[in-house]
Amino acid sequence: MLPLYKIILCHILNPKSDKSCEFIKNGALVLKRSKDGYKVLEIGKEKSILPKYNAKRSIEVMDTLGKVCMPSFFDTHFHWVQDDVRLMPKKNLLQWLINYTWPYEAKFKDKGYSKDKAQKFANELVSVGTLGGACYASIHAHTADDALKYFVGDFVVGNVLMTMESPDYLTQTKKQAIALVKKQTEKFKNKYALTPRFAPTTHPDVMIESSKFAKKNKSFIQTHLSETTNEIEYVLGLYSKIKGYEKIKTYTDIYKKAKMLGPKTIMGHGIYLSDAELKTLSNTKTSIAHCPTSNAPVKQLGLGSGLFNFKKAEKYKIHWSLASDIGGGPFVSMFDVMQSFVSQNAKAKVSGATYTKALFRATVAGAQALKLSKTHGSLDSGKFANFILVNAPKNLGDKSEEVLSQIISKNKNKRASYDNMVEQTFYKGECVFIR
Ligand code: GUN
Ligand code: FE
């Protein structure tokens, strides 16, 4: 029989907002079993918590002092079928897609290959502490099935839809694309996200028809928007020749016309948006997944797309969260994503891009984007016990921003090490990964 209570002794970081993160040195995280799994009952100082539970039966105490606990991550935009193109040569988005990404995604037509890769990627996710997010699979139905079968945590997944401007080996008919969305939504309900790859590769008829269906089923919708200036020129040029779209002025308007925007829609990137577009996203409560490592300069292993203006997005009250955009982003760990967000903004002399903000946007904000923040995203009482343990830094600081900086900036010059930082990952209070 599983114990009714679990107490984990550790230092605790609990994100509260962009500006605040609770930090409890020598803390205790108390979990209580419920029918759905362990939830956080309370957190506090070890000294005040332990005596309260002394007399309780059915209790397991885990002494992990020397470790820091924080909520597990949400990655709100990644392509699980791009694990092997993360570190391939990058010059710019469109060339990288054509030369590396699409030929690689085509391999997933093979069911055995997809299954092996999904199991491997599922292990990568738990090992970096990512237990939720919004994920792109390839056009092949079974790649979404495999992700939903093997990933541990709370993910929505969709097959990219590619009906035009794509290589023959990776192109569906309009009919096939629409039928795929219907079949998968019936099978996976709200875990299936409508995922037109982006306006250039997905005919507007497909976007219109499938988003009608997705909205009716209250499904999430995800796609790419305004990632690079070349891409915007390409999209607008292409749509100026499509009947009914001759007068379209902006990239966002294409998705708006397809009725794809809304509170359950997550747009990847959104770097180059006019004020009118920002207003549209805000009015429709559409969320943005910001992918700093993917957008970073080529020298930093990104696609060199540009820097997302989070201040402007916030001025327009647009919700945004952090994401890796694997394989545009080179590393799966959200620690690497957080560091890149902090470093790039510091270099550009943009204030406010703190580690505290980065943690909030990689946890709570991700849960908000997926409409899970009542039960996920932090260590607040009542939420699921989804968390990671990392080694405490030497000379552990007293303030959360300092502690987060000690933990995260440590690997900034050896980025591949971010993937090895998590010592243990817990999902609903059960250990799902131990190093
Ligand atoms: N735009 C369309 N497809 C993709 C993709 O696979 N990755 C990125 N970063 N942008 C895209
Ligand atoms: Fe992407």
Give the closest residue (by CA) to ligand 1 atom 1.
224
Quick check: is 372 in a domain?
A: no
Do 106 and 245 lie in a common domain?
yes
**In what helix (H) or strand (E) does residue 133 lie, and over which residues does it extend?**
strand 130-137
Distances (CA, A) of 236 to 163, 198, 239, 241, 302: 17, 12, 5, 9, 24
Q: Which of residues 268, 300, 332 is at a domain's end?
A: 332
pLDDT tens digits, residue range 145-160? 999 999 999 999 999 9
Quick check: is 227 in a domain?
A: yes
Pairwise CA distance, residues 89 & 70, whole Å:
34
Average pLDDT of span 167-188: 98
The CATH number linked to 181 is: 3.20.20.140
Do 276 and 245 lie in a common domain?
yes
Pairwise CA distance, residues 192 & 368, whole Å:
17
Do 298 and 201 lie in a common domain?
yes
Quick check: is 353 in a domain?
A: no
CB 251 within 8 A of CB 235: yes
Which residues, including other chains, have CB under 8 Å from residue 351's CB and lie 6 or more apart? none
Nearest ligand 1 atom to the CA of 79 is: 6
Nearest ligand 1 atom to the CA of 198 is: 2
> In terms of C-beta density within 10 A (0-12 exposed, 13-18 middle, 19 or more buried), how is residue 198 classed?
buried
Nearest ligand to the C-alpha of residue 134? 2
Q: First-to-last CA distance in the chain?
A: 25
pLDDT bin (cut points 50, 70, 90) of residue 65 is: confident
Say if residue 23's pLDDT is above 90: yes
| Ligand 1 touching residue 85 (CB < 6 A) | no
Q: Which of residues 300, 332, 364 is at a domain's end?
A: 332
Dihedral sign, Cα of residue 388, residue 26, residue 429, residue 374: negative
The beta strand positions in 35-89, using DSSP E, are 37-45, 59-71, 73-79
Provide the residue range defining the domain that includes 188.
Answer: 73-332
Do 48 and 131 lie in a common domain?
no
Strand, helix or coil for residue 258: coil
Do 60 and 117 lie in a common domain?
no
Give the distance (Å) from ligand 1 centre to CA of residue 273: 17
Quick check: is 67 in a domain?
A: yes
Q: Which amino acid is at 73?
A: F
CB 294 within 8 A of CB 325: yes
Say if residue 226's pLDDT is above 90: yes
| Ligand 1 touching residue 327 (CB < 6 A) | no
Do 172 and 220 lie in a common domain?
yes
Give the distance (Å) from ligand 2 centre to CA of residue 224: 6
Say if residue 16's pLDDT is above 90: yes
Average pLDDT of span 117-141: 98
CB 74 within 8 A of CB 132: yes
Query: What is the per-residue pLDDT for 321?
Result: 98
The CATH number linked to 36 is: 2.30.40.10
Nearest ligand to the C-alpha of residue 222? 2
Quick check: is 420 in a domain?
A: yes
Do 129 and 242 lie in a common domain?
yes
Nearest ligand 1 atom to the CA of 227 is: 10
Do 48 and 79 lie in a common domain?
no
Give the closest residue (by CA) to ligand 1 atom 9.
328
Do 92 and 120 lie in a common domain?
yes
pLDDT tens digits, residue range 342-379? 999 999 999 999 999 999 999 999 999 999 999 999 99
pLDDT bin (cut points 50, 70, 90) of residue 56 is: confident
Which residues, including other chains, have CB under 8 Å from residue 413's CB and lie 6 or more apart? none
Do 287 and 328 lie in a common domain?
yes
Quick check: is 62 in a domain?
A: yes
Do 125 and 274 lie in a common domain?
yes
pLDDT bin (cut points 50, 70, 90) of residue 127 is: very high
Q: Which amino acid is at 172?
A: Q
Quick check: is 187 in a domain?
A: yes
Residue 242: count of CB within 10 angstroms of its CB = 15
Give the closest residue (by CA) to ligand 1 atom 11.
224
Do 121 and 228 lie in a common domain?
yes
Mean pLDDT computed over every residue of the chain:
97
Give the closest residue (by CA) to ligand 1 atom 3.
197
Helices vs strands, H then E, count in the chain:
16, 15
> In terms of C-beta density within 10 A (0-12 exposed, 13-18 middle, 19 or more buried), how is residue 188 classed?
middle
| Ligand 1 touching residue 105 (CB < 6 A) | no
Give the closest residue (by CA) to ligand 1 atom 8.
328
Q: In the structure encoding, which two tokens stand for residue 420, read together? A: 């090895």
Q: Which of residues 276, 304, 332 is at a domain's end?
A: 332
| Ligand 1 touching residue 14 (CB < 6 A) | no
Say if residue 335's pLDDT is above 80: yes
CB 56 within 8 A of CB 5: yes
Report the length, in residues, of the chain.
435
pLDDT tens digits, residue range 280-322? 999 999 999 999 999 999 999 999 999 999 999 999 999 999 9
Query: What is the per-residue pLDDT for 140?
Result: 98
| Domains held by the chain: number | 2
Quick check: is 92 in a domain?
A: yes
pLDDT tens digits, residue range 104-117? 999 999 999 999 99
Strand, helix or coil for residue 188: helix
Q: What is the dihedral of CA 107, 113, 114, 120, to 10 degrees?
A: -120
Which residues, including other chains, have CB under 8 Å from residue 50's CB and lie 6 or more apart? 7, 28
DSSP helix, strand, coil percent of the chain (3-state; round to 5): 40, 25, 35
Nearest ligand 1 atom to the CA of 136 is: 6
Pairwise CA distance, residues 415 & 412, whole Å:
6
Pairwise CA distance, residues 134 & 358, whole Å:
18
